A and B are shown apart, each in its own frame.
Chain A
Amino acid sequence: MSKPTPPLPRWADIVLLPLINLLAALVLCGLVIFAIGENPFAALKVMINGAFVYQGALGYTLFYTTSFIFTGLAVAIAFHARLFNIGAEGQASLGGLGATLVAFAMAPIPGIIALPLAIGSAALFGAAWGIVPGYLQAKRGSHIVITTIMFNFIAAALLVWLLAGMMLEPGQFSPQSSLLPEQTWLPKIHEMLGWIGLKTTATPLNASFLIALCACLFFWVLVWRSRLGYEIRTVGQNQEAAHYSGINVARVIIITMAISGAFAGLMAINQIQGVSHKLILGFTAGYGFTGIAVALMGRNHPVGIFLAALLFGALVQGGTELDFEFTVITREMVLLIQGMIILFSGALAYMFNPPLARLLARIFGTKEDANA
């Protein structure tokens, strides 16, 4: 027991601390870039331009953001029940499979029915892939971290088997399916803007971005306004008290994992129904894992998750640009920057908490103190 740390005011916890973490990561990256002989400020400028300013940049950024929102929400909802879902990657893969299978089955059916069904199927397949580890945790006590990791491998293997086998497009040599029926494609945002007469650059940004925003709202209502959300939070805080109060803890764990899996599964619609229009091996691109960082940085709150997803989207998009413009800065360098940000805002999220809290307490003379 050392010095008591005063708690951070809420605004500082939500806004200031993440910004400081981000800054720290950027400073460190800047030093690395400087060390390899490039100007860190020039690099930063390219990153920002690449992510937001260049023509179509924002569309690309928001396209990645969409995927991160879904996986971030997936990790966050599980976390409200104190479940560490590492399996968003596998659940997203299954979501892709679900969307693809239903889309093919819907070949003769009009889009108005086929499209939502394919989307729902992505969510459903993802949910199913979340339910199994949830069930094993709830009824058998198998640790969710272990099972969800195993399920990532199973999902990956399943997709390889299908895409290299019965789902492989005839005449193709890379593991991917044939094109989905067109009416199951999600409209692009630039197309949608075109319907109302606005001309914008074509980007991969598609209607799933709007679905992601709805998902954020749904998440908020679910967690803080619904009876189920109360049960989820109660189970997350204290399982014994939840049991005492009549909540069926096992049921809540399973349902939470289903919802979590469904969010993760929806990430697939952005990639598959939105852009590639076919199931491609490895389309999840590790975004399921990035979701963990997004949820951590976003403090498991939809607004925070949106902002964190935007940041990671900008990193991916801006990073690609960096790779283009500087010869010494390679893809690996970009990964380093991402890693640094994950490190500071995820793993070391609270490193600056005590000094910041003390500083603020000194400035504002807060009287509140930690309940030691």
Chain B
Amino acid sequence: MTQTPDQKPPRAGAARGPSPQDDEPLLVVRDLSVVFPSRRTVARNGAGGGSGSGSDHGAVWAVDRLSLEIRRGETLALVGESGSGKSMTALSLLRLVPEPGRIASGEVRLAGEDLLRLPEAAMRRVRGDRIAMVFQEPMTSLNPVLSIGRQVAEAIRVHRRVSWRAALARAGELLEQVAIPDARDRLDAYPHEFSGGMRQRVMIAMALACEPELILADEPTTALDVTVQAQILELLKRLTRERGTALMLITHDLGVVARYADRVAVMYAGKLMEQGDARAVYARPRHPYTLGLMASVPRLDDPPGRRLVPIPGQPPDLSELPPGCRFAPRCAFVHGRCREERPTLLQAPGAASGHLRSCFGFEEPSGPQGAGAPARAGTPAGEGTER
């Protein structure tokens, strides 16, 4: 059981894992923005940057008013091309955005409590204990001069009052659970004696150490061999399911999404493009960007000989975003309105409730209004514009 001294009364001691009466999500992110000030901004305006995307010239809004939710025990996949802001989103949940970046606005509520308002000391009690993270780079994410056992045991000792001896014994158990051969005999081993896959297992053991409520896994298999990738994902999925731990699985591989995620959020240039049930999104994407991502990777249900089509063009320079839809320069369905107004994340017409997208509609790209009337029946005020 996780100790959560800071929790508000109604949530205190809430059972982990999905429970039916528990309709408040574990994690609620609202309007989260992460900004990297431009050199010029720092030099000229000092600390005072602009707010809102685009108004501060040269500043990079790596995450731009992003909102999402994760339920207890749920696996949410965060998908997008490299540079779309996935890592910054995850790091901002732990308040570990690297300098000179900073969280500019928003709320990150963990079981109701806004982490962005916590004092640093209280935030430290959240890190590793209630939210743990597995990083993309197993080769460099472990300290080369400390033994594996020490690094795992340390993760326990930060948050639990136990002796080194007890923590090391527990570390041995954890390493066994992540299927490291001869785990107990290898507590004294150093990271350089392990392969990338084994190091990532160590990272997972470390993340599990305090039985957190949420694990953030940032492309945990990208740096690994294809054969090892599936093993690591299976392991992560099994261990989180067994414990009822929520998982935010960051990936750029939609195949992974279909197999391992309950829900998916698709990110592009700092903003969410589409969000919904993983199977539904995989079966029928409601956003041109998701469609493009799917066309660019192989699928299990591909007909033989299907050609992979990469999305044309490059992700935009985040310091100079286009005025309208930020995907417009690369979108095959772009129409007039797309270049002038910014779409917001709304219920996708005709899709199951909770399937959201940020697009003016592309199913019938004939008229200047985008999607036709029947398709828009689901949304009360049409597909809205930001501002």
Specify whether A and B are partners: no
Residue ranges of B at the interface with A (Cβ–Cβ < 8 Å): none
Residue ranges of A at the interface with B (Cβ–Cβ < 8 Å): none
